[in-house]
Structure 1
């Protein structure tokens, strides 16, 4: 580790020796149970590893399992692997069902899906990530976790700010940072650390926050968070924000260190914008292809016991069920708007992977359970034995859908190629 880093931390911490000693210890690991699908109590009954409560999130748990992503419950979206202290920011945000909420730097999706749980599938959740490759990972996690009320965008913060002034009730800025809270988890973070990068990150964070403040409605809540310890990126940036925007009041700050609490390290600050009159907003009407809607309804009559309700919209050949409200999307790169139901291939409706994971499992009529060895084959992309049903089925493990298959003489595998296990 760069000696300059330790000089900075020594000046910052009265108990520096304890901090330095803790760096040789294993990192804390955690998961967050996905309450869009299962309660924490119900998950405890089936959990394949021991759980201990995390301090910052009632649905969060500390674990000792080194590879929690290897279990099929993870593929089914029953939990998200998340560093424990990273769970602290979203409770500060206080998102509620029916609100307009933005996660401005959302990849890979830990905090965004945590917000989705707080919203209980109601309202508008915009999850933005400006890096295309990271935005794809974000979308994969949104679909796995069964989030149906999200618009996933790939845009610069300034692009969104130009379209949505004073629009959101709550905004999270989990800003790109120097990652000093990742040193035990990711050795590359130590190798890449430099004081110059700290200064560069602080300037970039301010630009992102400027866009965020312009999108925050009067009376709204903004939470700024990082996974670093650098004062330039944490307290000093929070102080700058309060000075630069006097309409904001900082109401709470948290700073977590790995030698003091059971987490790798995080900073979060909450700001409230002074109240005022909100501008009127008229949501656009998005067209839906009638043939696609009819084909979906015919499919859903066999596949689903109770189709989800809402407004349809077409995006090219794709048919989606919109969130509670939308905003003008033209010119933006939108990866997903609501729940993708499927696509039209000629006159055929082909259901989307997201549909199998995005509706309550009890609402799926064509659900085919397979034993562990067959599920392992399915996740590798192999065909399975026919399940006694014909046509489209949700392939499930212990009643939890993992994806789609199409059954005839055998169960043809429709698990997305980009998600398949090696």
Structure 2
């Protein structure tokens, strides 16, 4: 997405959500909301909001047995059926998150037909507005198996990755589009559109407004750093300032761990830039940078002292 648009990364487990937020920061990603909700809670807040949804469904993990032998310990003859029921519960909340013409990617890391083809058949039977789209398959990726479900030939559009056919673990993928009727379905295929707006007016109810002195500190910082930033995109959570992504929804009653790009924080009328800003593409524009050779990099990662020539510091813009 090249840090454009809006990416909502949701994780129901809070500890995993914290790790997800840290990974987003380390990757220098600026356009992401990291949220901590169940699918049902997310639907209450953002019905029909998304252009695309990727559901990496919790599954029995049979495709990971070779990679993670411990996963075998969780498997039992009833586990596939239990996982399939949980996947259907999640899908009941996930499909309504899509706008008309939106795309759903459903994926698992299991071989189980109960959790793969049979779940897709269940979607097609219970959500008639959902239509399967073909997936371009590279060498070693095979079609889904209609004979392992209800025989619907549409299931050939899904994809199975077999570990003995390609250099990967076991996976299943299906791509579906949501349409209100056949006419709209066909028009979406030929001319996809984005129905969201960039309206920034009513989306900051859960944030604190920036005070005049804080806006002045931020404006001075951006001027000094030679960064052209729209101050209307900034919002404050506690003492921390974030630049909200485009298409950001109303954040009221949404449990957020990361709201776009953290710019920095205030302490005693002083503004401190954040580590996330330094790691982002914005940070590359104004932070002095040093190039290290392989030996210096190894020493640096190891925590050893590295020696840099004074001329290199000057080239990097430190003084």
Partners of 2:274 and 2:103 in 1: CA distance? 35
Instruction: Write the deviation string for residues 226-279 of structure 1: whole angstroms up to 9, x where unpaired.
Output: 111111111111111111111111123111110112211111111111147998
- Aligned residue for 2:18, secondary structure, equals helix
1:318 paired to 2:240: yes
1:265 paired to 2:163: no
Change (3 A) 1:297 1:185: farther
Output the TM-score relative to the length of structure 2: 0.76
Partners of 2:51 and 2:223 in 1: CA distance? 37
1:174 paired to 2:56: yes
Report if aligned partners of 1:288, 1:319 keep a CA contact under 8 Å in 2.
Answer: no
Partners of 2:53 and 2:6 in 1: CA distance? 12
Partners of 1:199 and 1:246 in 2: CA distance? 23
Change (3 A) 1:142 1:279: closer
Output the TM-score relative to the length of structure 1: 0.58
Change (3 A) 1:238 1:331: same
Structure 2 residues without counterparts, runs of 5 or longer: 134-156, 185-193
State the partner residue of 2:190.
none
Structure 1 residues without counterparts, runs of 5 or longer: 1-118, 394-398, 400-406, 409-422
Instruction: Write the deviation string for residues 316-357 of structure 1: whole angstroms up to 9, x where unpaired.
Output: 111011100211222222001111111112222222111111
Q: Counterparts in 2 of 1:18-417, with a 5 A limit?
A: 119-251=1-133, 252-275=157-180, 284-286=202-204, 287-290=208-211, 291-302=213-224, 304-309=225-230, 311-360=233-282, 362-369=284-291
Q: How many angstroms does 1:369 deviate by?
A: 4.4
Structure having greater relative contact order (Cα 8 Å, sep ≥ 6): 2
State the partner residue of 1:82.
none
Partners of 1:136 and 1:280 in 2: CA distance? 28
Partners of 1:345 and 1:379 in 2: CA distance? 30
Report if aligned partners of 2:278, 2:287 keep a CA contact under 8 Å in 1.
Answer: no
Instruction: Write the deviation string for residues 270-309 of structure 1: whole angstroms up to 9, x where unpaired.
Output: 111114799887652425413333323333444x343555
- Aligned residue for 1:340, secondary structure, equals strand
Change (3 A) 1:338 1:170: same
- Aligned residue for 2:172, secondary structure, equals strand
Instruction: Write the deviation string for residues 101-151 of structure 1: whole angstroms up to 9, x where unpaired.
Output: xxxxxxxxxxxxxxxxxx222111111001011111111111122211111
Partners of 1:321 and 1:234 in 2: CA distance? 39
Q: How many angstroms does 1:192 deviate by?
A: 2.3
Bigger Rg, structure 1 or 2: 2
Report if aligned partners of 1:199, 1:232 keep a CA contact under 8 Å in 2.
Answer: yes
Change (3 A) 1:349 1:387: farther
Q: Which has more strand, going by share of residues?
A: 1
Instruction: Write the deviation string for residues 186-212 of structure 1: whole angstroms up to 9, x where unpaired.
Output: 121122222222222111111111111
